Chain A
Amino acid sequence: MEWNYKNEDKLLTITLKEEIDHHTVEKIRRKIDNEIQRYMPKKVVFDFNYVNFMDSAGIGLLIGRYKITNMLRRNFRNKEYNYKCKKNIGDVRCAKNYTNSKREDCGKSRRK
């Protein structure tokens, strides 16, 4: 994982790498939270271009960071992602948009 902070824009870009699963997510979570608390950025951008694998642990990580940045009234954005985590990023969007909609709607678009 790498991060880049631009002071003039108060923009923190976090570049995630390799594999995101339940085993690796603990370390990543701690690092990201440290960086958010250290810089207190206005915007947090996640770059998934170098992620080879991601499961629901990655979705939990994103939802958690979304809640934190929301609490701090910061902006949160998923930058780019490759086809390897495209499906799972769809689940994050679904979870973010989930308010009063039916739970059954989640994941249905991909079901055959």
Chain B
Amino acid sequence: MSNICENEMKLEFTSKSNNEAFARITVAAFASQLDPTIEELADIKTAVSEAVTNCIIHAYEGKEGIIKILCQVFAGSIQIEISDTGKGIEDIETAKQPLYTSKPNLERSGMGFTIMESFMDEMKVESIVGLGTKVTMKKIIKKE
């Protein structure tokens, strides 16, 4: 698989929940140049939606902030980087546990990171408390 970036896209928007649909649709539209299947596209959309929702609910806790998305297309794969400058994650391993939620009162399922991890081929979370979080995900698009 080639490491040369063939195409790149950057997106910046405020942490409003009505931007979730905008973010996932934009990333899916950009990913469509790799000719993915509908299922692969649905996986990307779901993973992006989860990451953006995390930024809105957990990083900024409903306050206004900026969410940045960087998408890079390689030969046969797409890498998506979603970052915020919110409060950060203290314990990444605990946050990644299925069904774990730091906000049970909001009726969250605690499946965000599990979905990102299982729908995408690679996922990496980097976070500094007080500075922000960056989630990097990679999806390999299989060619028939």
A interface, CB within 8 angstroms of B: 19, 21-23, 29, 53-57, 59-61, 63-64, 83-84, 87-88, 91, 94-95, 98, 103-104, 106-108, 110-112
Q: Distance (Å) between the CB of A100 and the closest chain B CB?
A: 13
The reply to whether B107 and A29 form a contact with Cβ atoms under 8 Å apart is yes
Within 8 A of A (CB), among B44-59: 45-46, 49-50, 53, 56-57
Q: Could you show 29 A-B contacts with beta carbons less than 8 Å apart?
A: A21-B20, A21-B21, A21-B53, A22-B56, A53-B45, A55-B46, A55-B115, A56-B53, A56-B108, A56-B112, A59-B109, A60-B106, A83-B39, A84-B42, A87-B43, A91-B111, A91-B115, A94-B98, A95-B99, A95-B111, A98-B99, A103-B97, A106-B114, A107-B98, A107-B111, A107-B115, A107-B118, A110-B118, A110-B119
Q: Distance (Å) between the CB of A54 and the closest chain B CB?
A: 8
Known: A55-B53, A107-B118. 14 other contacts (CB 8 A): A21-B17, A23-B21, A29-B107, A53-B24, A53-B45, A53-B49, A56-B109, A56-B111, A57-B53, A60-B108, A87-B43, A95-B109, A106-B111, A107-B117
Contact residues in B for A57 (Cβ distance below 8 Å): 53, 108-109
Complex Cα gap A87–B107 (Å): 20
Number of residues on chain B facing chain A (CB within 8 A): 32
Given A59-B111, A60-B109, A91-B114: A104 touches B98 (CB 8 Å cut-off): yes
Taking CB as reference atom, which chain B residue is nearest A26?
B17
Partner of B115, one of A56, A61, A104: A56
Interface majority SS (helix, strand, loop, mixed), chain B: helix
B interface, CB within 8 angstroms of A: 17-18, 20-21, 24, 39, 42-43, 45-46, 49-50, 53, 56-57, 97-100, 106-112, 114-115, 117-119, 121
Given A21-B49, A55-B49: A103 touches B98 (CB 8 Å cut-off): yes
Complex Cα gap A63–B56 (Å): 21
Contact residues in B for A94 (Cβ distance below 8 Å): 98
The reply to whether A23 and B18 form a contact with Cβ atoms under 8 Å apart is yes
The reply to whether B99 and A106 form a contact with Cβ atoms under 8 Å apart is yes
Q: Distance (Å) between the CB of B55 and the closest chain A CB?
A: 11
Most interface-central of A29, A57, A87, A95 (chain B CB within 10 A): A57
The reply to whether B99 and A103 form a contact with Cβ atoms under 8 Å apart is yes
Taking CB as reference atom, which chain B residue is nearest A104?
B98
